[in-house]
């Protein structure tokens, strides 16, 4: 009998030891995992600073192990910074998110972009490179806006050509194509459609040119300008605050600018850059983009508050020649400078 009890005690001891070891193993599995991308990712972008502040906490929740840093400036300033870094053969950015799609064609031609077919690219319905070098990530629209406290709806301009009417003399503004990527696209598109005579007539009618969209929105609010060629997102944001401004989607075509995101092939943290890019294209990431008053590149994400669905005005939108815009950057800027900015 003693032998049996002794044997049973040994068996129980072994079982308890096994359970103890098993428990230790379970505790080890609960420790935070070091798996998955980590480290720093630098994004160069022209997205407005307040929108970056909306994106930051969402990215942190999605990627607690990735430290995302931002350099923000207007598209042309970002391009100038990148040009200097290309010259020095030391590109600091991992990802690029600027407004002008034609710039990505230039970078792709120079062999500076990483080919990456992100999983969420399949849901992107507009502006993606077939080989995965760049993908549309946000849609900015250049529209006409007017001050509703100064202009009645029936008197508001309905098209870009309407802005040539003498009644708008000295009361219309647009951002400078020399500083704004979306304004550069606008200058290229409208000069293709109507010839440079359009801008010569606009200047004769007292067109004002500001450094950027934000400066214009402020003067539109005060009534210094009655109408403007400006980004839709600026006006939607102001209108949501109850300010007296309204968007007009021009009858001769809205200028739809599906700005891309891409990874530089010089990135030192390509794996982390890939997951950040894919998140930006996800439904969750696109919903954050829409909070910044821009339209999504996905059909399963609602438009920004106060804006119609993209499909309601996309059919008659201008069709920019992105290849021409990519190769004619300096020529288009010089033509605008000579016809509008020089006295």
Which residues make beta-bridge pairs with 71?
44
> How far are the Cα atoms of 77, 137, 240, 250, 260 from residue 99, in angstroms, in the given order?
12, 10, 23, 20, 7
Task: At 155, give phi and psi (nearest 5°).
Answer: -100, -10
For a pLDDT cut of 90, what percent of the chain falls above it?
Answer: 88
- Segment 230-236 mean pLDDT: 97
Per-chain mean pLDDT for the chain: 91
- What are the residues facing 44 on neighbouring strands? 71, 96
According to the model, what pLDDT value does residue 35 have?
59
Domain ranges of the chain: 39-139+257-311, 140-255+326-341
Q: Give pLDDT, residue 343.
A: 76
Position 27 pLDDT exceeds 60: no
pLDDT tens per residue, range 168-196: 999 999 999 999 999 999 999 999 999 99
> Which of 146, 97, 126 minimizes the C-alpha distance to 288?
97
**Equal fold, 39-139+257-311 vs 140-255+326-341:** yes
Cα–Cα distance between 309 and 291 in angstroms, integer?
Answer: 15
CATH number of 140-255+326-341: 3.40.190.10
The residues that bridge with 230 in the sheet, in sequence order, are 143
Instruction: Assess contact for 298 and 290: CB atoms under 8 A.
Output: no
User: What's residue 246's pLDDT?
Assistant: 98
Contacts of 202 (CB under 8 A, 6+ apart): 163, 164, 172, 340
pTM: 0.86
First to last CA, the chain: 114
Q: What is the CATH number of domain 39-139+257-311?
A: 3.40.190.10
Q: Up-side HSE of residue 36: CA atoms within 13 Å toward CB?
A: 10
């Amino acid at each position: 009998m003693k032998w049996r009890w002794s044997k049973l005690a040994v068996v129980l001891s072994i079982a308890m030891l096994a359970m103890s070891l098993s428990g230790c193993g379970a505790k080890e599995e609960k420790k935070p995992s070091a798996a998955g991308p980590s480290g720093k990712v630098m994004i160069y972008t022209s997205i407005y600073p307040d929108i970056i502040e909306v994106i930051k906490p969402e990215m942190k929740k999605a990627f607690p192990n990735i430290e995302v840093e931002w350099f923000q400036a207007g598209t042309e300033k970002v391009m100038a910074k990148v040009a200097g870094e290309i010259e020095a053969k030391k590109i600091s950015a991992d990802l690029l998110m600027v407004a002008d799609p034609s710039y990505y064609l230039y970078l792709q031609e120079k062999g500076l972009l990483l080919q990456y077919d992100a999983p969420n690219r399949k849901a992107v319905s507009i502006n993606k490179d077939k080989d995965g070098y760049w993908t549309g990530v946000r849609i900015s629209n250049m529209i006409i806006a007017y001050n509703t406290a100064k202009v009645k709806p029936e008197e508001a301009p309905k098209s870009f050509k309407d802005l040539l009417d003498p009644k708008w003399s000295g009361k219309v503004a647009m951002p400078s194509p020399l500083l704004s990527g979306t304004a550069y696209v606008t200058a290229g598109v409208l000069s293709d459609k109507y010839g440079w005579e359009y801008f010569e007539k606009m200047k004769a009618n007292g067109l004002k040119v500001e450094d950027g969209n934000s400066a214009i929105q402020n003067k539109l609010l005060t009534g210094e300008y009655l109408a403007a060629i400006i980004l839709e997102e600026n006006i939607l944001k102001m209108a949501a605050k109850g300010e007296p401004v309204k968007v007009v989607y021009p009858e001769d075509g809205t200028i739809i600018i599906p700005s891309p995101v891409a990874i530089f092939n010089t990135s030192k943290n390509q794996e982390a850059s890939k997951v950040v890019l894919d998140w930006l294209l996800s439904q969750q990431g696109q919903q954050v983009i829409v909070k910044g008053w821009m339209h999504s590149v996905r059909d399963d994400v609602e438009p920004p508050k106060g804006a119609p669905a993209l499909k309601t005005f996309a059919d008659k939108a201008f069709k920019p020649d992105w290849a021409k815009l990519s190769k004619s950057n300096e020529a288009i800027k010089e033509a605008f400078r000579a016809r509008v900015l020089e006295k």
